[in-house]
Amino acid sequence: MMKIGVYICHCGINIAATVDVEKVTAFARTLPHVAIARNYQYMCSDPGQDLIKNDIKNEKLDRIVVAACSPRMHEVTYRKACRSAGLNPYFFEMANIREQCSWVHPDKEEGTQKAMDLIASAVAKVSLHEPLEENEVGVTPSVLVIGGGIAGIQASLDIAESGFEVFLVEKAPSPGGHLAQIDRTFPDLAETSTTLLPKLKALQAHPQIHLLTQSEVEGVEGFVGNFKVRIRHLPRYVNHEKCTCCKKCEEVCPVRVPNELNMGLDQRPAIYLPFPNAIPHSYTIDSKNCLFFQSGECGKCREICPESAVQFEEIGMEFEAKVGTILVATGYDPFDPKLKPELGYGRYRNVITSLELERLLSSEGPTQGKLLVDGKEPRHIVFIQCVGSRDKTVNNEYCSRVCCMYTAKHAYLVKDRIPDARVTICYIDIRAFGKGYEQFYETVQKKGVFYRKGVPSEIYERNGKLIVKADDELLGEPYEEEADLVVLAVGLTQRQDADHLRSLLKLSLSPDRFYLEAHPKLRPLDTATDGIFLAGTCQGPKDIYDTISQAHGAASRATIPLFSGKVKIEPITAWVDELMCAGCGLCEQICEYRALKIDPYRKVMTVNEALCKGCGACNATCPSSAITLRHFKTEQIMAQLREVC
């Protein structure tokens, strides 16, 4: 014989002023299976909870209804109380007679009636409840970090420092990312190498970090705590343990291809060192351009290598790693200014991008830090902001967040090297928002850099000189300015290959095509999928400070399940009646959490309970009513509805 206990809360006067609690209590006693009905000042208080616990023990109650506030407030509280008294916490139901009754109804009589209806409905539902068990699964104490830019490096170090294993997967031959291309940072003009080098060294030295360069993630399976990841490692063709970077191979290699590090401003051989401080500190062979691999005719590097480090026969390998969580830090691609043909990039040699200028200003760059245009120092330099940002014509409505400041930095450095040059920056708004940025903006202006509001409409050549045509918005008149060098402050865009990872991890994209976070305000580092986290510019443009801050943060998020060693599995999950399921797959498409998968052999839907969040979307979608959501079964909901209709 079922014995239900009903507890009605006064919530001080919050409920009691509008609902006649005594009357409601008396009514509750008349409901089927109700053995006890009580009311109390504050059910959530310790004495209130004790009422329930004692009744469960002494009166042998097997179902509990509390009529009080919203379940969002205190459902967990009462479930805990039930559990501590030895009752399955899912034999509990809450009737919301505060937010949905006393707070919104001024009339006491109507309020009381509604409270009675809500309680009757909760009693009807709870009598059909079934016990559910909360399960936990273990967590593999390791993290997969995808992307070896500054975000991935920082996150890997943090995770390893916390004592967990890290698989850092980087596509390129060395971690470092875009930061390795950047010479100095704004606003302090410090050399980036002072930050990057120690971090690279620490990365290489850390026993908990598996650095996987020239590698890519090929497949992901599983769920939070228990991901299985397939990683493909491409051959380097140079044994990095033997290579001493003696440069001899580089000298004999007959191939010359554009050097990615220097944005194609100079050339490199097919066997090369990605950048001077690369780790592992070893050459690598670019098989796409290597004559040995293209025609089988060369092999000079192998002949000359004194350490016999070149190994053409090396083959790629694929292996599986088990990780608890995944951290995505894939970074960005610079905007391709050829999409703005009016700016003449690609047509005029002296229209360059900011990253190209970055390399030209670098002492390790193609010109050893000398800024020369056609062998001469440029006298007139024009910077153009917002190229590929805040621009709907190229479908990038967003601001790239860093261009204002890196342009200010570039202008400063140019002015520093060529003090009598005329440096103009054409801008829309100056977004100097970070620590010390506004002050730096002021310093740059004082240096004699000329800021002009309004971005150019066109760049063309006249008599061998570049002409920048623009509207000065402050003067309200158009002007033309001659320039020896035009620098386009290109924005940041999502990586071109982002789709690959997106589909592997089922990430969502925001309208700006960057990866979408779980919540724009409170969960900026999480994704909708438990156990997958975001750091750095793959989530949206940001500067180095914010990237590092976010990388630390993502490391924190990604290690929470590892520290606790277990993840809870939601007991309220979907369940498929295989006899009813037609295998149409509609629910699979609707599932936000990748919890549903069709069994290829039996052609029925299966639920991964570790992934299912119990949202009920599949349940509502299923045309043959084959899916049931536990705790919200059709008969439970119908019983609940019958009492209020």
Q: CA angle at residue 600 from 598 to 603, to 5 degrees?
A: 65
Give the residue from 116, 87, 82 showing the smallest Cα distance to 101. 116
Instruction: Please identify, using beta-carbon distances, which residue of 22 and 438 lies nearer to other proteins.
Output: 438
445 binds other proteins (CB under 8 A): no
Query: Are 263 and 216 contacting, i.e. CB atoms less than 8 angstroms apart?
Result: no
Say how far apart CA 592 and CA 576 lie, in whole Å: 17
Q: What minimum distance in Å lies between the beta carbon of 525 and other proteins?
A: 6
Instruction: Please identify, using beta-carbon distances, which residue of 93 and 517 lies nearer to other proteins.
Output: 517
Residue with tokens 């292996």: 319
Q: What share of the chain is helix, strand, coil (3-state, %, to 5)?
A: 30, 25, 45
Query: Are 471 and 380 contacting, i.e. CB atoms less than 8 angstroms apart?
Result: no
Q: What minimum distance in Å lies between the beta carbon of 15 and other proteins?
A: 11
Distance of CA 225 to the CA centre of its chain: 18
- Letter for the amino acid at 615? C
* Tokens, residue 335: 């905007």
SS3 category, 61:
coil
432 binds other proteins (CB under 8 A): yes
Candidate ranges 27-35, 324-332, 546-554, 591-599; the one touching other proteins (CB under 8 A): 546-554
478 binds other proteins (CB under 8 A): no
522 binds other proteins (CB under 8 A): yes
Q: What minimum distance in Å lies between the beta carbon of 93 and other proteins?
A: 20
Helices (H), 67-107: 71-84
Query: Are 161 and 562 contacting, i.e. CB atoms less than 8 angstroms apart?
Result: no
293 binds other proteins (CB under 8 A): no
Q: What minimum distance in Å lies between the beta carbon of 631 and other proteins?
A: 20
- Near other proteins by CB under 8 A: residue from 218, 473, 482, 592: 473
613: left (phi > 0), else alpha (psi -120 to 50), else beta?
Answer: alpha
Q: Which helix (H) or strand (E) holds 562?
A: helix 544-564
Instruction: Please identify, using beta-carbon distances, which residue of 343 and 535 lies nearer to other proteins.
Output: 535
Query: Are 70 and 78 contacting, i.e. CB atoms less than 8 angstroms apart?
Result: no
556 binds other proteins (CB under 8 A): yes
Instruction: Please identify, using beta-carbon distances, which residue of 151 and 485 lies nearer to other proteins.
Output: 151
Phi and psi for 367 in degrees, rounded to 5?
A: -115, 15
Binding-site size, other proteins (CB under 8 A): 68
Candidate ranges 266-274, 293-301, 312-320, 428-436; the one touching other proteins (CB under 8 A): 428-436
Q: Classify residue 144 by burial, with Cβ atoms within 10 Å: 0-12, 13-18, 19+.
A: buried
Instruction: Please identify, using beta-carbon distances, which residue of 240 and 513 lies nearer to other proteins.
Output: 513
Q: Classify residue 560 by burial, with Cβ atoms within 10 Å: 0-12, 13-18, 19+.
A: middle
| Signed CA dihedral, 215, 229, 144, 146: sign only | positive
575: left (phi > 0), else alpha (psi -120 to 50), else beta?
Answer: beta
- Near other proteins by CB under 8 A: residue from 71, 344, 378, 540: 540
Instruction: Please identify, using beta-carbon distances, which residue of 76 and 580 lies nearer to other proteins.
Output: 76
Cis bond upstream, residue 280 (ω within 30) = yes
- Near other proteins by CB under 8 A: residue from 13, 104, 317, 644: 13
* Tokens, residue 126: 């709870």
475 binds other proteins (CB under 8 A): yes
Query: Are 61 and 93 contacting, i.e. CB atoms less than 8 angstroms apart?
Result: no
Q: What minimum distance in Å lies between the beta carbon of 308 and other proteins?
A: 40
Candidate ranges 136-144, 188-196, 262-270, 280-288; the one touching other proteins (CB under 8 A): 188-196
390 binds other proteins (CB under 8 A): yes
Instruction: Please identify, using beta-carbon distances, which residue of 182 and 255 lies nearer to other proteins.
Output: 182
- Near other proteins by CB under 8 A: residue from 202, 246, 339, 560: 560
Q: Which helix (H) or strand (E) holds 196?
A: helix 193-205
Say how far apart CA 205 and CA 277 lie, in whole Å: 14
Candidate ranges 21-29, 271-279, 311-319, 542-550; the one touching other proteins (CB under 8 A): 542-550
Q: What minimum distance in Å lies between the beta carbon of 76 and other proteins?
A: 8
SS3 category, 493:
strand
Q: What minimum distance in Å lies between the beta carbon of 413 and other proteins?
A: 18
Cα separations (Å) of 553 from 525, 547, 578?
A: 7, 10, 43
- Near other proteins by CB under 8 A: residue from 114, 125, 422, 431: 431
Site residues for other proteins, window 142-181 (CB under 8 A)? 158, 161-163
544 binds other proteins (CB under 8 A): yes
CB atoms within 10 A of CB 373: 17
Site residues for other proteins, window 69-108 (CB under 8 A)? 72-73, 76
- Near other proteins by CB under 8 A: residue from 438, 458, 499, 635: 438
Q: What minimum distance in Å lies between the beta carbon of 186 and other proteins?
A: 11
Q: What minimum distance in Å lies between the beta carbon of 458 and other proteins?
A: 22
Q: What minimum distance in Å lies between the beta carbon of 438 and other proteins?
A: 5
635 binds other proteins (CB under 8 A): no
* Tokens, residue 18: 């509008």
Phi and psi for 274 in degrees, rounded to 5?
A: -55, -45
Site residues for other proteins, window 23-42 (CB under 8 A)? 41-42
Q: What minimum distance in Å lies between the beta carbon of 442 and other proteins?
A: 7
- Near other proteins by CB under 8 A: residue from 2, 22, 45, 134: 45
Which stretches of the chain bind other proteins, using CB under 8 A? 12-13, 41-42, 45, 72-73, 76, 158, 161-163, 185, 190, 194-195, 390, 397-399, 401, 429-439, 442, 473-476, 510-512, 514, 517, 519-525, 539-540, 544-546, 548-557, 559-560, 563-564
